[in-house]
Amino acid sequence: MTSERFVDALNAQISREFAAAHQYTAIGAYYTAETYPQLTKFFYDQAEEEREHAMKMVNYLLDRNARVDFTEVSAPQTQFADHVAPIRLALEQERQVTVHIADLFQVARETNDYLAEQFLHWFLEEQVEEEASMSDLLAVAERTRDIPVLLEEYLARETPGESA
């Protein structure tokens, strides 16, 4: 049986995943308004991926006959100093998610919840990809700061974070 401590922690992470999706949607809208179609698509796709993560967690709790709590999602940041700032925010967000997933894993381990531990392995691997993707994108954004169309061209050619 899943411990109440793990259920509480996973419900908190579900909220964070939905908040990440909300933030990525806001970033996509920002890039739409700034006429960056590749960045728009990238962040709208990221938003969908975060919603999928949240739903995997919801379904896990339901499959384990545990309670699912949906809490309020805060308003996302919508204004940015330049086209690089949203990517920096996204990388920081992914780094925080990695810490939270590791904390969840620790709770599963401390409560001897081997099924939860196994469930979380996928999310740990996913965070390696998520951080790499945002880190790559930020590196290119910084290098192309003065000519942002080069960042758009990069996104049209590459999928940041994936192995060659």
Provide the residue-wise pLDDT of the chain in tens; the chain has 164 residues.
789 999 999 999 999 999 999 999 999 999 999 999 999 999 999 999 999 999 999 999 999 999 999 999 999 999 999 999 999 999 999 999 999 999 999 999 999 999 999 999 999 999 999 999 999 999 999 999 999 999 999 999 987 755 54
- Domain coordinates of the chain in residue numbers? 4-157
> Which CATH number is correct for 4-157, 1.20.1260.10, 3.50.50.60, 1.20.1730.10, 3.40.50.261?
1.20.1260.10
137 within 8 A of 162, measured Cβ to Cβ: no
Query: Is 48 buried (19+), middle (13-18) or exposed (0-12) by CB count in 10 A?
Result: middle
